C-alpha cells in the first residue's frame, strides 16, 4: 500500500468555506457580548480578558470596554490569541447546545469513513485551532466524526504555505512523507506539501485545475491506489 496516511485541510476541502465565514464567525460575533458578560468571572474567560487589557494597553478597562476592544479587533480581522480563545469557547457552547452543526460535505464523510475502515490513518491540518477542528468534526451534521482521526495539526506546526510545516507534520505522523497524501483546495499549500515530499491531491469543488497537482471535484473521485 503506497499511501499510509491522509492529511486533510478543512475549509474548501472537507467543508464549505462559507460555513466558516457565513456561519461560525458571525455566530461568535453575535454571542460575544452576552458571553463575556455572563462569564467574565470564570477563570478561563478572566484570563483572556486580562490578556486583552494587556495587549491593548488599557489595564483598567472594564468588561464593557473589553467587549468594545474585541469588536474592534473583529472589525479589523485581527487574529489575536485571546480573541481566538473566546471565539472557541463560544463555538463550543453553540455546538453543545445544538445551535451549531459542523458542515462536512457528504462525499468527504463517506470517503473518510471508508478510508478509516480500510486502515488508513487520517489527520487534519487547518489554520483553525485544534479545538475548532475537533468541534467541526465532533458535532458535524453527520454526527461525531472524531473517532476517524488519529491527530490534528494547526498553525502551531507552522504556516500552511511553508514546506517546513509539512516536514514537522511528517515527523509527528512518523511515516515517510512519500506515504502521506495531502488534500487541499489551495495550490500554494499543495506546492509546499509536495516540496516536503508528500503526495498531493487538489480539491476544486467548483471545477478547474490546481496547477501541478491531481485535481478532483469531490472526495468520491480520489483514488488512493493511483493518487
Ligand atoms: Mg482550504
Domain membership flag for residue 166: yes
Is the overall model pTM greater than 0.85, yes or no?
A: yes
3-state helix, strand, coil in the chain (%, to 5): 50, 15, 35
| Alpha helices (runs of H) in the chain, residue ranges in sequence order | 17-18, 25-39, 43-55, 63-75, 81-96, 106-117, 130-138, 163-173, 187-195
Q: Convert the pLDDT of each residue in 124-142 to its tens digit.
A: 999 888 999 999 999 999 9
Distance between Cα 175 and ligand 1 center (Å): 24
Together in a domain, 53 and 33: yes
Q: Say whether pLDDT at 120 is over 80.
A: yes
Distance 11 CA to ligand 1 centre (A): 4
Assigned domain for 226 exists: no
34/51 same-domain check: yes
Q: How far is the CA of 127 from the centre of ligand 1 (A)?
A: 9
% residues pLDDT > 90 (the chain): 93
Any domain includes 151: yes
Q: Among residues 31, 66, 96, which one ends one of the domains?
A: 96
Nearest to 103 by CA among 189, 14, 188, 213: 14
Q: Per residue in 158-196, pLDDT tens? A: 999 999 999 999 999 999 999 999 999 999 999 999 999
Q: Calculate how far, in angstroms, residue 124's C-alpha sits from the geometric centre of ligand 1.
A: 11
Q: What is the mean pLDDT of the chain?
A: 96
Tell me what pLDDT residue 57 has: 95
Domain containing residue 34: 20-96
Which of these three, 69, 96, 123, is where a domain ends?
A: 96
Cα angle 146-147-149, degrees, rounded to a multiple of 5: 70
Amino acid at each position: 500500500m503506497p499511501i499510509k496516511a491522509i492529511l486533510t485541510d478543512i475549509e474548501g476541502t472537507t467543508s464549505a468555506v462559507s460555513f466558516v465565514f457565513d456561519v461560525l464567525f458571525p455566530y461568535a460575533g453575535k454571542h460575544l457580548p452576552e458571553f463575556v458578560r455572563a462569564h467574565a468571572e470564570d477563570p478561563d474567560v478572566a484570563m483572556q480578558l486580562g490578556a486583552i487589557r494587556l495587549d491593548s494597553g488599557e489595564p483598567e478597562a472594564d468588561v464593557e470596554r473589553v467587549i468594545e476592544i474585541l469588536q474592534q479587533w473583529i472589525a479589523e480581522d485581527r487574529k489575536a490569541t485571546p480573541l481566538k480563545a473566546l471565539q472557541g469557547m463560544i463555538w463550543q457552547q453553540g455546538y453543545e447546545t445544538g445551535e451549531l452543526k459542523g458542515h462536512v460535505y457528504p462525499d468527504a464523510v463517506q470517503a473518510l469513513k471508508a478510508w478509516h475502515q480500510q486502515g488508513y490513518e487520517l489527520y487534519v491540518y487547518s489554520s483553525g485551532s485544534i479545538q475548532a477542528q475537533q468541534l467541526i468534526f465532533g458535532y458535524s451534521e453527520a454526527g461525531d466524526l472524531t473517532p476517524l482521526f488519529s491527530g490534528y495539526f494547526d498553525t502551531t506546526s507552522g504556516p500552511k504555505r511553508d514546506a517546513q510545516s509539512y516536514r514537522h507534520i511528517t515527523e509527528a505522523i512518523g511515516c515517510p512523507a512519500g506515504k502521506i497524501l495531502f488534500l487541499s483546495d489551495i495550490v500554494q499549500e499543495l506546492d509546499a506539501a509536495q516540496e516536503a515530499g508528500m503526495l498531493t491531491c487538489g480539491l476544486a469543488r467548483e471545477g478547474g485545475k490546481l496547477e501541478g497537482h491531481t485535481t478532483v471535484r469531490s472526495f468520491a473521485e480520489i483514488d488512493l491506489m493511483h493518487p
